[in-house]
Amino acid sequence: MQEEMSKTKEMMRGNPTIYDILKQEHNDVKKLFKQIVDEQRYQDSIYMKIKNALTLHMAGEEKLFYSRLENNAETRQLVLEAYEEHDVGKKVINDIDSSSSDDVKLAKVKVLSEAIKEHINEEEGDLFKKAKKVLSSEDEHEIARQFVNEKMQKMPNMSMPNPPSPPPM
Protein backbone atom coordinates (compact mmCIF):
# COMPACT_ATOMS: atom_id res chain seq x y z
CA MET A 1 0.00 0.00 0.00
CA GLN A 2 2.91 2.36 0.76
CA GLU A 3 4.30 1.74 -2.73
CA GLU A 4 0.92 2.58 -4.26
CA MET A 5 0.68 5.81 -2.23
CA SER A 6 4.16 6.88 -3.39
CA LYS A 7 3.26 6.13 -7.00
CA THR A 8 0.05 8.13 -6.68
CA LYS A 9 1.93 11.14 -5.27
CA GLU A 10 4.48 10.83 -8.07
CA MET A 11 1.67 11.00 -10.65
CA MET A 12 0.88 14.56 -9.63
CA ARG A 13 4.32 15.87 -10.60
CA GLY A 14 4.10 17.58 -13.95
CA ASN A 15 0.49 18.73 -13.48
CA PRO A 16 -1.26 15.84 -15.27
CA THR A 17 -4.77 15.87 -16.63
CA ILE A 18 -7.41 13.38 -15.52
CA TYR A 19 -6.78 11.52 -18.78
CA ASP A 20 -3.10 11.05 -17.92
CA ILE A 21 -3.94 9.63 -14.51
CA LEU A 22 -6.70 7.35 -15.74
CA LYS A 23 -4.51 5.98 -18.55
CA GLN A 24 -1.70 5.25 -16.08
CA GLU A 25 -4.08 3.43 -13.76
CA HIS A 26 -5.56 1.52 -16.71
CA ASN A 27 -2.06 0.36 -17.69
CA ASP A 28 -1.25 -0.64 -14.11
CA VAL A 29 -4.36 -2.79 -13.70
CA LYS A 30 -3.86 -4.42 -17.11
CA LYS A 31 -0.36 -5.47 -15.97
CA LEU A 32 -1.82 -7.00 -12.81
CA PHE A 33 -4.42 -8.94 -14.80
CA LYS A 34 -1.68 -10.14 -17.15
CA GLN A 35 0.23 -11.70 -14.23
CA ILE A 36 -2.70 -13.92 -13.34
CA VAL A 37 -3.82 -14.67 -16.90
CA ASP A 38 -0.28 -15.49 -18.13
CA GLU A 39 0.38 -17.86 -15.25
CA GLN A 40 -3.06 -19.48 -15.62
CA ARG A 41 -3.25 -19.59 -11.83
CA TYR A 42 -5.43 -17.64 -9.42
CA GLN A 43 -3.26 -15.62 -7.02
CA ASP A 44 -5.06 -13.98 -4.14
CA SER A 45 -2.39 -11.36 -3.46
CA ILE A 46 -2.50 -10.10 -7.05
CA TYR A 47 -6.29 -10.31 -7.18
CA MET A 48 -6.51 -8.17 -4.03
CA LYS A 49 -4.32 -5.54 -5.71
CA ILE A 50 -6.63 -5.62 -8.73
CA LYS A 51 -9.74 -5.39 -6.56
CA ASN A 52 -8.39 -2.49 -4.50
CA ALA A 53 -7.14 -0.64 -7.60
CA LEU A 54 -10.46 -1.08 -9.42
CA THR A 55 -12.51 -0.13 -6.36
CA LEU A 56 -10.62 3.15 -5.88
CA HIS A 57 -10.47 3.86 -9.61
CA MET A 58 -14.15 3.27 -10.31
CA ALA A 59 -15.24 5.30 -7.27
CA GLY A 60 -13.07 8.22 -8.36
CA GLU A 61 -14.21 8.08 -11.96
CA GLU A 62 -17.86 7.99 -10.98
CA LYS A 63 -17.66 10.74 -8.38
CA LEU A 64 -15.32 13.18 -10.12
CA PHE A 65 -15.12 12.44 -13.85
CA TYR A 66 -18.39 10.86 -14.96
CA SER A 67 -20.45 13.19 -12.78
CA ARG A 68 -19.02 16.15 -14.73
CA LEU A 69 -19.98 14.56 -18.05
CA GLU A 70 -23.30 12.81 -17.46
CA ASN A 71 -25.50 15.87 -18.03
CA ASN A 72 -23.85 16.95 -21.26
CA ALA A 73 -25.52 15.81 -24.51
CA GLU A 74 -22.11 15.12 -26.09
CA THR A 75 -21.05 12.60 -23.43
CA ARG A 76 -24.22 11.45 -21.66
CA GLN A 77 -24.80 8.14 -23.44
CA LEU A 78 -21.15 7.08 -23.14
CA VAL A 79 -21.14 7.92 -19.42
CA LEU A 80 -24.33 5.96 -18.81
CA GLU A 81 -22.74 2.97 -20.55
CA ALA A 82 -19.58 3.42 -18.47
CA TYR A 83 -21.61 3.36 -15.24
CA GLU A 84 -23.21 0.09 -16.40
CA GLU A 85 -19.80 -1.38 -17.23
CA HIS A 86 -18.62 -0.47 -13.73
CA ASP A 87 -21.67 -2.23 -12.30
CA VAL A 88 -20.79 -5.37 -14.27
CA GLY A 89 -17.23 -5.18 -12.94
CA LYS A 90 -18.45 -4.80 -9.37
CA LYS A 91 -20.75 -7.81 -9.79
CA VAL A 92 -17.92 -9.99 -11.09
CA ILE A 93 -15.71 -8.85 -8.19
CA ASN A 94 -18.46 -9.87 -5.76
CA ASP A 95 -18.75 -13.22 -7.55
CA ILE A 96 -15.00 -13.78 -7.24
CA ASP A 97 -15.11 -12.89 -3.56
CA SER A 98 -17.92 -15.35 -2.91
CA SER A 99 -16.30 -18.24 -4.83
CA SER A 100 -14.32 -20.85 -2.96
CA SER A 101 -12.59 -22.70 -5.80
CA ASP A 102 -9.41 -21.22 -7.25
CA ASP A 103 -10.38 -22.62 -10.67
CA VAL A 104 -13.69 -20.75 -10.55
CA LYS A 105 -11.94 -17.61 -9.31
CA LEU A 106 -9.43 -17.84 -12.18
CA ALA A 107 -12.26 -18.14 -14.72
CA LYS A 108 -14.02 -15.12 -13.21
CA VAL A 109 -10.78 -13.08 -13.09
CA LYS A 110 -10.32 -13.79 -16.81
CA VAL A 111 -13.88 -12.60 -17.51
CA LEU A 112 -13.28 -9.49 -15.39
CA SER A 113 -10.02 -8.85 -17.26
CA GLU A 114 -11.75 -8.98 -20.64
CA ALA A 115 -14.61 -6.75 -19.47
CA ILE A 116 -12.19 -4.18 -18.04
CA LYS A 117 -10.04 -4.20 -21.22
CA GLU A 118 -13.13 -3.50 -23.34
CA HIS A 119 -14.24 -0.75 -20.93
CA ILE A 120 -10.77 0.83 -21.06
CA ASN A 121 -10.73 0.80 -24.87
CA GLU A 122 -14.12 2.51 -25.06
CA GLU A 123 -13.23 5.00 -22.35
CA GLU A 124 -9.82 5.97 -23.73
CA GLY A 125 -11.25 6.19 -27.23
CA ASP A 126 -14.72 7.63 -27.54
CA LEU A 127 -15.29 8.99 -24.03
CA PHE A 128 -11.96 10.79 -23.63
CA LYS A 129 -12.28 12.28 -27.12
CA LYS A 130 -15.74 13.68 -26.38
CA ALA A 131 -14.84 14.70 -22.81
CA LYS A 132 -12.02 16.87 -24.20
CA LYS A 133 -14.68 18.84 -26.08
CA VAL A 134 -16.73 19.31 -22.91
CA LEU A 135 -14.11 19.96 -20.20
CA SER A 136 -11.74 22.91 -20.13
CA SER A 137 -8.03 22.38 -19.59
CA GLU A 138 -8.46 23.82 -16.09
CA ASP A 139 -11.25 21.30 -15.41
CA GLU A 140 -9.05 18.42 -16.62
CA HIS A 141 -6.26 19.40 -14.22
CA GLU A 142 -8.60 20.14 -11.30
CA ILE A 143 -10.40 16.81 -11.67
CA ALA A 144 -6.97 15.12 -11.68
CA ARG A 145 -6.02 16.83 -8.41
CA GLN A 146 -9.33 15.92 -6.82
CA PHE A 147 -9.05 12.33 -8.07
CA VAL A 148 -5.59 11.86 -6.54
CA ASN A 149 -6.58 13.56 -3.27
CA GLU A 150 -9.65 11.34 -2.98
CA LYS A 151 -7.58 8.24 -3.69
CA MET A 152 -4.94 9.20 -1.12
CA GLN A 153 -7.63 9.65 1.54
CA LYS A 154 -9.23 6.28 0.82
CA MET A 155 -6.06 4.24 0.34
CA PRO A 156 -5.14 3.71 3.99
CA ASN A 157 -8.61 2.25 4.58
CA MET A 158 -8.36 -0.40 1.87
CA SER A 159 -8.18 -3.96 3.12
CA MET A 160 -5.08 -5.98 2.45
CA PRO A 161 -5.16 -9.76 1.98
CA ASN A 162 -4.47 -11.97 4.96
CA PRO A 163 -2.27 -9.83 7.22
CA PRO A 164 0.25 -11.89 9.16
CA SER A 165 -0.87 -13.00 12.60
CA PRO A 166 1.09 -11.61 15.52
CA PRO A 167 3.37 -14.12 17.19
CA PRO A 168 1.98 -15.80 20.34
CA MET A 169 3.02 -14.16 23.59
Three-state secondary structure string covering 77-119 = HHHHHHHHHHHHHHHHHHHHHHCCCHHHHHHHHHHHHHHHHHH
Confidence category of residue 152, pLDDT binned at 50, 70, 90: confident
The model's pLDDT over 59-79, given as tens digits with 9 standing for 90+, comes to 999 999 999 999 999 999 999
Is 12 within the bounds of a domain? no
4-18, 38-52, 123-137, 140-154: which has the minimum mean pLDDT?
4-18
Mean pLDDT, to the nearest integer, of 83-98? 97
Q: How far apart are CA 166 and CA 129, in angstroms?
A: 51
Confidence category of residue 169, pLDDT binned at 50, 70, 90: very low
Task: Report the pLDDT value the prediction gives residue 12, as an integer from 0 to 100.
Answer: 63
Confidence category of residue 34, pLDDT binned at 50, 70, 90: very high
Is 167 within the bounds of a domain? no
145 CB-near residues (< 8 Å, 6+ apart): 12
Is 141 within the bounds of a domain? yes
Is 148 within the bounds of a domain? yes
Confidence category of residue 154, pLDDT binned at 50, 70, 90: confident
Is 136 within the bounds of a domain? yes
- Count of the separate structural domains present in the chain: 1
Range of the structural domain that residue 111 is part of: 17-157
